Structure formats: structure tokens, C-alpha cells
Structure 1
Amino acid sequence: MRRVRIEDSQTMQGFVLGLSSASRRNRFHGSVNGASPKLIAYLVDADGVRHAAWVACIWGPDGEAIVGEAGWYVVDAEQGSAELALSVLDGWQGSGVASRLMTTLIAGARQAGLRHLYGDVLDVNLRMLAFMRKHGLEAGFDEPPDRGVERVSCVLR
């Protein structure tokens, strides 16, 4: 587990392309079919202030590979509010990678002085909704932006 680096672009591209179509739909809400340079730059260009991100990595025969990613993006600096997102390769789901990423993400948000985290989860993604509840994010704090989406959030103390 480590912070993402701009040098992770190629490895991140492999990660995104390695997600099943269902996992990509859950992570990006159906708006991503591949791994465009713009998307990859968005995921790896984290300054630690407005955007912070982490990756869970393993070493394999071809070097380092990303098996999970998580990050937050400040949406209202004055209120200390950020949107979070995370995803894990299908073969690694259920292994604890997402929990480690979420714990790291929340600790990083607190350390950065953020006061509120939220995430938008497709309402059919019951597994992720349960995961978010397990990590202290509940529905009802904010209105979801679209039909078919549940907004979960927590106040950081």
C-alpha cells in the first residue's frame, strides 16, 4: 500500500483494463469503457492537497501490478468536503484489499484536515453499500445526484 505516483500511469492503465465491465461500471458509473489517457492522468495526478490517492500493489513476473486503488477529491475546500472512490480487481475482491485502502483513505483525509467524505454508489451495488456502512459511511446525509445512485457519507472527527 502506497501513495499513487504520476509514474504509475502505465500500471494504472493495466489495472483499469483489468477490471471487469461490471467493476468498471460500478467504479465509474458506466461512463468508462477503456482507459483513456485523460482518465489515467485523473487517477494518478494526485497532489495530496486537492486530490490524494493510494494503490495496493503486488510484485509479479512483470514487475509491480496494481490490484486496488482509492482516492479522494476535494469538492468544497471551505467546508472540508471530498468525494471518495475506490476499486479492486475482481480476483482480489473479498481479500481485504478494499478495507485496507478505505482505512488508509480515511486516515489520509483526517490528516489533511477534511471534515466530510462522501461517495456515490450505484444502488444495485449492494456489496459496496454494505462495505461503506461497515466503514462508517451512511446514506441520507446528502441527496444523491441521480436516480439509481445512493450517496453515502460520514463526518470525520
Structure 2
Amino acid sequence: MVARNRLPPWHEELRLRNGRRVLVRPIRPEDADPLRAAFPLLQPEEVRQRFLHAMSELSPAMAERLTRPDPKGEFALVAAEPLPPGEALVGAVARAAINPGTRDAEFAILVSHYLTGMGLGRHLMRRLVRWAKGRRLERLYGDVLDHNHPMISLAESLDFKREASPDQPSLVRMVLQLRAPHPH
């Protein structure tokens, strides 16, 4: 029998279209400092599209919160250099969080402009969908700025549907129905 170099669950090595290798893996507490260090490299529009408002830095408290998802209802992956957590530059983050008391989860994805256009957003979104289905959720959704055409197109290509946001006309809610709602 041949021993295989097996990766832990939710870990996979990818070769991007530009030949760069990244490791997709669950986020770790050690990623907090690299995330904070990389935040200034993001373009202001990237920050607005992910956080829906301008931010100049990722605070230590926010980095701590992002890198310690609650395993009962949150899931977060990073695409990072194939180096140990804490040393690896993180180029993308994908997150899903179950809304308490519902069978719905909200997603958020941020891919640095250094890595856009290489299929990484699609790959990460598929992993979030797989996690949500594994949790037997009914819906996966995300609020996207109406001018974030790449994210809207990506979501639509994966069968997400648009829902208008009555409270915030500049947002589009992208919703993927995973299974029929349970009757209450």
C-alpha cells in the first residue's frame, strides 16, 4: 500500500491560471497578523465591495474575530501562500455565517486584485456552497454592491438569484436556494 500525502479536511493546493500555487484552507488564528499586514495592499474599491463601506485598516479586534470563526455556525477559508499560517500572505478570504434561529447563511468573499480573474472566487464560492449543503441549510445569500458586476456575474453563474434590497437600493442580495424551506 502506498502512503499518500493527504491534506486535512478543507485543505487543497491549487495552481492558478497564472501558475501561482495557493493553499486553500480553513482560516487560522495565526492568520490575523498577515491579514492586518495585507489590508493596506487592498484597493479602496475592494474594501468597499467587501465591507460595504470605506475602511483604512483591519483592527486587531476585527482580525481576531475573522480568524476565530465559531465552528457551530461559521466557516471561513483562505487562499494563501503554501507556507505555515502566520507566515503565509493571504490573498483571499471566503466566509459563511448561519443567521441564528434560521436555516440561512450569509456569505462574503474578498479576493485581492492580485488574484482576481483566475477562478479563485468561483472555487471559494463552490466551497461555501458545499459547506452550506453539508449543514442542510435552506439558503446561502450575500449582499453585493449593485455595481460589483464581477461578483454578481459569478453568483448568477452558480445559480444564485437576485433579490432587491428594499432598505438599501445600492445593494443586491444574491440568493442560492439550497433546499425547500421547512414548514414552521
TM-score by length of 2: 0.77
Match of 1:67 among 87, 91, 105: 91
**Is residue 122 of structure 1 aligned with residue 110 of structure 2?**
no
Q: Structure 1 residues 42, 146: closer, same or farther in 2, change over 3 A? A: farther
State the one-letter code of the partner of 2:80.
C
Kindly indicate whether residue 177 of structure 2 is the aligned counterpart of residue 155 of structure 1: yes
Tell me how many residue pairs correspond in the alignment. Answer: 154
Structure 2 CA distance for partners of 1:105 and 1:67, relative to 1, 3 Å: same
Moved over 3 A (4+): 142-145
Q: Which structure 1 residue ranges, 5 or more long, are not aligned? A: none
For the structure 1 residues 74 and 120, does the alpha-carbon distance in structure 2 shift closer, same or farther, using more than 3 Å as the test? Answer: same
Structure 2 CA distance for aligned equivalents of residues 46 and 132 of structure 1: 23
Equivalent residues of 1:120, 1:144 under 8 A apart: no
Higher percent of residues as helix: 1
Could you say which structure has the greater relative contact order, defined with CA pairs below 8 angstroms and 6 or more residues apart?
Answer: 1
Give % identity: 26
Deviations 1:53-80 (A, max 9, x none): 00011147x9411111001111143x31
In structure 2, what is the Cα distance between the partners aligned to 1:125 and 1:139?
Answer: 13
Whether the 8 Å contact between 1:49 and 1:112 is mirrored in structure 2 is no
Q: Which runs of 5+ in 2 are unaligned?
A: 1-23, 180-184
Q: Distance in 2 between matches of 1:121 and 1:109?
A: 19
Q: Please name the residue that 2:120 is paired with.
A: 97
Q: What is the aligned partner in structure 2 of residue 9 from structure 1? A: 32
Larger radius of gyration: 2
Residues 24 and 94 of structure 1: is their aligned pair in 2 closer, same or farther, counting only changes over 3 Å?
A: same
* 2-structure distance, mates of 1:113, 1:41: 28
Measured in 2, the distance between the counterparts of 1:144 and 1:108 equals 29
